[in-house]
Structure 1
Amino acid sequence: MPNNNASTTLATTHKAVKQLRLEASVRRINVSQAATDLKNFCLQNAHKDPLLMGVPSGDNPFRPPKSCGLL
């Protein structure tokens, strides 16, 4: 059985190394650049954001139901 445990450990190590190599090959940018890009995106799309602009009552699927006039 020790051989099976060693092969499992070896397979796990190979998998970890493969994942680390994949992560090391990812192109990265500076946090300051990512923050600037995110800020610009948010500013450019603010007019479409319902949290900032609100939702027109006719388009709001979550508006409270109107009460019925019939009693």
Structure 2
Amino acid sequence: MSNNNASSNLVVAQRVVKQLRFEAGVRRIKVSQAAMDLKNYCLQNAHQDPLLMGVPSSDNPFRPPKSCSLF
């Protein structure tokens, strides 16, 4: 039983080492550079953002329905 437990611990340890090696190889940039890139992206695409510019009423599927009346 302890042999099975030892082999499962070995498998877990190998997975951890593999994950750590992967994370160590990830290219990283400074937070200040990432923030500046994100700010520039947001400013360049602000004209397409419906939260900033609004949605035209003709394209808005959630607009209040028009009332119909029959005479």
TM-score (normalizing by structure 1)? 0.94
CA distance in 2, matches of 1:40, 1:26: 23
Aligned position for 1:52: 52
Q: After the TM superposition, which residues 32-47 of structure 1 pair with which residues of structure 2 at under 5 Å, given as runs?
A: 32-47=32-47
Aligned position for 2:4: 4
SS in 2 for 1:9: helix
Aligned position for 2:31: 31
Return structure 1 stretches of 4+ with deviation > 6 angstroms: none
Aligned position for 1:18: 18
CA distance in 2, matches of 1:69, 1:29: 62
Gaps of at least 5 residues in structure 1 are none
Residue-by-residue CA offset, 1:1-37 (whole Å, 9 max, x unaligned): 0000000000000001101100110100000000000
How many percent of aligned residue pairs carry the same amino acid? 75
What one-letter code is carried by the residue in structure 1 that aligns with 2:40? N
Aligned residues: 71
Post-superposition offset of 1:70: 2.9
